[in-house]
Every structure is written in structure tokens, then in C-alpha cells.
Structure 1
Amino acid sequence: MSSSVETPVFIQTKSHEALPPPNLARGPIAWMRENLFPSIPNTILTLVVFYLLYVAIPPLVKFLFIDAVWTGTDRDACRAETAGHPVGACWAFVWDKINYFIYGSYPITERWRVDVWFVLLAIGVVWLLWLKAPRRDVGAVYFFIVFPVLSFILLLGSDWVGLDHVPTGLWGGILVTLIVATVGIVFSLPFGILLALGRRSRLPIIRMASVIFIEFVRGVPLITVLIMANTMLPLFLPGDITIDRLARPLVGVALFASAYMAEVVRGGLQAMPKGQYEGAMSLGLKYWQMMVFIILPQALRIVIPGIVNTFIGLFKDTSLVAIVGIFDLVKTIEASRIDPSWSAPTIGYTGYAFAAFFYFIFCWGMSRYSLGVERRLAAGQNR
């Protein structure tokens, strides 16, 4: 005799409203306990950081804003003995020299050309980096082909369009800083990709040439490369051929950044699974087709943080061109702070603070943009 036990089945016959999502907000105290004071070592580190911020931030805010001098026409406005109170940053000095910081010695009547160049640069950057911009392929052609030609004609001048010639010796300030950074960023990525592919090439000559170039450039500081490009490069040319004094550091910066970019890209290529190469070859794709359509898009996505980090370092390193006599932003500040009419104790600190704000804004913008691109690509990969 066998007995069977029936399992009761519960069937819901009525529909119920969906429950609300769980409340993850536990209040600021719980957040601080979890993130700032989770253990004794972390609590000590948090207290040390808070102390350092307490020591550094209030005096800095007082110097830059509270005790700062915002208006004035000469050094008397920024001297404590004439002002009658403690004097912090002398922003009146910056406002008085702002045109020199932007244009350098570019002729005043021709500075509208620099303003137009700033607008053209902004259009190219936004068109290329805005992910929802229409016809970004046309934007790439504009930025890499049309914009360099327009920049050369507009800034240097041409008799064909009726623009007076302005030698690069008169260029300076933010104009030169952006030119050096733009040239370095634009040329370092494609050259770095070619060097990375050359280092992984099966041809011994190409591989050896790429390795020697990368290791040599990465083994010397940028200032050495700039000095060599500025003083030694003309020695290897015929006597009747000269290179513009601004073009020399541009070449040095582009080559230096390309070597570092090559190692970043090579890391992405090595991180690619072997199956990706085998799958591309099984489709009958040639080497360059495999690299352009299959391997490089995935490899570059992996190393986006490294690429942006190289760009940020390159943008800050543009200040080193001042050592070889190029009047970038830092050089114009150094030349302005020795002006006798603005001889005050805080003039130099204020000028360098202005340069720090300038570099921080651009570097922070590049960093935030890269984070947005990473999140977008990660979301697309997860889907």
C-alpha cells in the first residue's frame, strides 16, 4: 500500500501593486561611519587629512580672495604700507596684463585673428568630442585637415588673402600654450599608434627602429628633447635651410609625447585576447583591416585612462617650452612680474596662481570628459 502526499500549490488570484524600491539613503552619519571612519587606521588617516585641509585651505582662501586686491593701476594698490591693511593676491596686476597673457606681443591691430582662431579651435574640439554632434566624420576632417591650414594662414598671415605677416617671435601667452598643446595632442596619438604597431611588428628592422626610438625618447627628460630640438636640429640641416623657432619645440613635444603614447597603446594591444586576432583572420581580413576595424577600437577603449593621463601630462609640460625662449603663458608671467610699475611682494605669487587656475581648468575638463566616455562605453559593453 502506497501513500502519496500532495504538495499544496498557492496561486495568486489578485494583482497587487509593485513594492517601492528599498531605501538606500541611510543618512549622513551612516555614510560617514562607512566611508570615513570604518576602522581605526582609516579614522586616523581621515583625521590627518582633515587637519591638513584645515591648515592649508583657510590661508589659501584668505590670500586668493579675502585679502586680494581686485582694482588698481600700479604697484601702490598691492603694497601693504600704502594700502593700510594686509594685502593678498594682486588680481589688479592680472587684469592689467591680461592681454599680454593671452596674445603675447602679437600686434594689437591683428589680435582679432587670434580671437577667430580661438573660435575655430573651440568649434573643432566641440564638434569632435561631442558624442551627439552631427556628421562627426566631417568634424574629424575639419579638425585634422582644414583647421591646421586655416590656423597657418590666419595666425602667420598670407598675401593671398591680404593678411599681414606676423612672425612667430611675436606670438606668446595662452595662444602659444594652446598651439603647443594642440599640436602635441593631435600628433602624439596617431604617431604613438604607429610606434606601438611597429614595436609589435614581425619585421626586425621596423621593430628595432621603433624600440630604439621609444626607449631613447622615454629615457631622457622633456627639457633635454626641447634643447636638442632648439639648438641641435638646425645643425643637421643645410646652411640655407632654417626651421622656425616655434616649430622646433613643437616637433620635440610631438615626438616626446608619441613615445609615451606608444607604450600606452601597446598595453592595450597586449591586453587583447588572442581569440580576437584569430577571429579577425578567420574572416579573411588583412593586417591593416584587422587592426583598424577589430583590434584598435577595443584596445583604445581599454587604455582611455592612460591616453587621457598622457594628454594631461603633455598639456602641463607645455610650460617647459619657456626654458628654450618660447613665450608661452608662464614666460609672459615671468616677463611681466619684473615690470617696475608692478613691483610688489605678491605679484609673482598672483601670476603663478593665475597660471595654476588656467592649467587646472583645462586638465580637469579633460579628466571629466574621459570619465564620461568611459561610462558610456562601459554601459554599451554591458548591454
Structure 2
Amino acid sequence: MTDGVLEAAPTANQPLPRWRRLRTGLFGTPLNAAVTLACLVLLAWVVPPLLRWSLLDAVWVGPADRCADAAGACWAFIGEKLRYILFGFYDQDRHWRPAVASAILLALAVVSGMPLFWRRATLGLWVCGLAVAVLLLTGEPGGPAVPTERWSGLPVSLLLAAAGLVGAFPLAVLLALARRSRMGGVRTLAILFIEVTRGVPLIAVLYVATLLLPLMLPAGSAIDKLLRAQIAIILFVSAYLAEIIRAGLQAIPAGQHEAAQALGLGYWQAMRLVILPQALRTVIPSIVNLAIGLFQDTTLIIVIGLFDLLNTARTAAKDPAWLGFYDEAFGFVALIYLTVCVAASRYSLWLEHRLQR
């Protein structure tokens, strides 16, 4: 007590300053301090050589001959092969088409992430955007047709991931509701599909779509290889997404269902207006994590003869004029994947905090 005034004691719920939380986390215990010092030693051992190789001793411009005796990275290779890494086997004089298609897909993802655009019109925007992107990649309008075998690089990775997640979402919602249904036959079929699909690796599903599905079709009929891969990815992702949505549905209190019934809402009205919005909000981190994994798993399409961003970079390093620059090729592609995935994870945290408010 000072001058008759009682001093306020610090409350237990009062947050600590950021510097104090950081100090406590890094050096709060002897074990934490030992781990922190070990990490600092590791960084001191790894970072300086990496900086010398990637920046100080790197070759930024010039022909391949300048990189022959260089001690650092040959980023001139990226400058020479950038368009091939991004767009692969697509006709070089028409690279504007896959560039515009990729920009459309990225713009759709950004717009869909804004709560302001969470309305029915956004679904129509996705349908139109995907249709325009595919139309551009096919060479239409006003140009010769480009077969899907020549689609490669970044547009293929974005298209398979975006269309796979968007196409799997309505199917996943139905599967999640079916697995929780009181109708035994519907519930059993949903369980069988989800468990069998989740028990098989994606690479096996792609093999089935590429090798076995054509044998099951009538003679003379065929489905494009890229379309088969896209359908396989949609079915595969829908099984995992259904389990994520089902977890969100189980987290909703029973009182929400009872309140919807008391308001006179039917089953589908209650799901659309009351239950699903709350369930999806609780599983946003899991959905974003699934989207990140799907974007990374598009590299598996190489097993069926299609080339995504990673595999066009690997092919670029096989050019006889620039042979062997695999570190630069894979490092550049890794930076692209890292940028996309970190941005998605940060967006997930931002959206989670925003919806909690």
C-alpha cells in the first residue's frame, strides 16, 4: 500500500511481454537452453556455406561456360530455363496461355479465401474460371489445339490441386453425412468407400485410373489421361476430406440440432444453415493442411507420364547445354512450393482467428 492506495497485483491471466515469452521458451529450462544452443551451433555451421553458395559465389547471368568453374550456384540456368520450368512442353510462342491460366487459378484461390466472397456466386466463379483456364490450355479460341500431353509445369500442378479440391468438396460433404446417416445401407457404402480409398496410396489410385480404367471401357471409347488422373484425385481427396468434415460435424453440440428442429427447419435446411457452417469453421486448419498436401502430391503424376512443376525442373537440368544443374532446379522449385505452402498456412491462422472473433 502506498499513500493509502492499494497497488494492483499482476493477475494470472495478464499476458507476458513478447520478449519475456521468447526468453522463457528458449532458455526457460536447462533442456530448452541446451536445445537452443545446439540449434544456434547448427545454424552457424550450415548458414554461412549456404549463403556463399547461393549468393556470394553464385553466377547470375551468362552462358553455361561461366558456371563450369564457379564455386557457387548457377542461377543463370534458372534465367535461361525459367519458362521451360514453369510451362514445360507447351509451345514456347504461346506461353501466354498457360501464364494466364495459372494467374486465373491463383486469383480464384485468393478470392475464395476472402470471407467477403463466401457466397453462391463464388461457386459459379470457380466453374467459369476453371472452364476458361482449361479452354486456354487447349489452345482455344483462335489457335491450333494443344493435346494434354503437352500440358506441363505450374499450370498442371495448380489445375490438378484446385479442381481436385473443388470437385471433391461436395462429394466429401455427402460422404460425411452418409457416414453419419441412420440408414444402414447408405452408411455402409460410405464407410466402405472412405476406408478403402484412404487405405490405398495415391500412386496406386493413379495407376488404376491410367492402366485398369481403359480396360473396363467399351471398345473404341477412351478418356483423356489427364482427365482420368483428375477424376482419380477427386475421388481420393473426397475420402480424406469426408473424414475431416465428419470430425467437424461430431464437434457440434446436440443442442444445435435440437434448436434447428425447434425452429421448424428440415434436415437439409438445418445442415445448410446451422450445422455445416459451424462444422466447417472448426476444421479449417485441417482443410488447409489437406490442400497443401494435395498441391505437393501432384508430383506423383510423373508415374503416368504427365509432368508437373517439379518434373519439368528435373527435365530442364537434362539439357546437354545446361547439364547437371539439379541443385539449382530443385532449389528454385522448392522455393515456389515453400512460398505457396507458407502463405496457405499463414492464411489458415488468420482465418481461424477471424472466425473466432
| Common fold by TM > 0.5 | yes
Contact 1:154 1:163 in 2 (8 A): no
Kindly indicate whether residue 120 of structure 2 is the aligned counterpart of residue 151 of structure 1. Answer: no
SS at 2:44 equivalent: helix
Q: 2: CA distance between counterparts of 1:139 and 1:219?
A: 33
Q: Which amino acid aligns with 1:317?
A: D
> Are 2:348 and 1:366 aligned?
no
Match of 1:39, as an amino acid? T
CA contact (8 A) 2:130 2:163 kept: no
Q: CA deviation at 1:105?
A: 1.5
- State the alpha-carbon separation in 1 of the partners of residues 148 and 98 from structure 2: 13
Q: Which residue of structure 2 aligns with residue 241 of structure 1?
A: 221
The aligned amino acid for 1:79 is A
1:1-383 alignment runs, 5 A limit? 28=19, 30-74=20-64, 76-80=65-69, 83=70, 86=71, 88-132=72-116, 137-143=120-126, 145-158=127-140, 161-344=141-324, 347-379=325-357
Compute the RMSD of aligned alpha carbons: 2.2
Unaligned runs of 5+ in 1: 1-22
- Preserved CA contact (<8 Å) 2:180 2:187: yes
Which amino acid counterpart does residue 47 of structure 1 have in structure 2? Answer: L
Q: Distance in 2 between matches of 1:25 and 1:216?
A: 49
> What letter corresponds to residue 84 of structure 2 in structure 1?
Y
- The letter of the residue matching 1:374 is E
| Closer, same or farther: CA 94–212 of 1 in aligned 2, 3 Å | same
1:137 positional shift: 4.1
Deviation at 1:115, TM superposition (A): 2.7
- How many angstroms does 1:114 deviate by? 2.0
Residues 326 and 240 (structure 1), Cα distance of their counterparts in 2 relative to 1, 3 Å cut:
same
* Greater Cα radius of gyration, structure 1 or 2: 1
Q: Deviations over 1:274-306 (max 9, x none)?
A: 111111112221111111111110011111111
SS at match of 2:27: coil
Alpha-carbon deviations, 1:219-272, whole Å to 9, x = none? 111111111111111111112111111112212222111111111111111111
Aligned length: 345
Q: TM-score with structure 1 length normalisation?
A: 0.84
Q: Is the 8 A contact 2:157 2:298 kept in 1?
A: yes
Change (3 A) 1:197 1:32: closer
1:186-216 CA-to-partner distances (Å, cap 9, x unmatched) read 1222222221111111122221111111111
What TM-score, normalized to structure 2?
0.90
Q: For 1:144-181, what per-residue CA distance to the aligned partner results, in whole angstroms no more than 9, with x for missing partners?
A: x21122223222144xx433211111111111111111
Whether the 8 Å CA contact 1:264–1:306 is kept in 2: the answer is: yes
**Equivalent residue, structure 1, for 2:6:** none
What is the alpha-carbon distance in structure 2 between the residues aligned to residue 188 and residue 281 of structure 1? 29
Q: How far off is 1:92 after superposition? A: 1.1
For each residue in 1:39-73, what CA deviation from the matched residue of structure 2 results, as whole angstroms up to 9, or x when unmatched?
Answer: 11222222222223233333322222222221122
For residues 140 and 252 of structure 1, the distance between their equivalents in structure 2, rounded to whole angstroms, comes to: 22
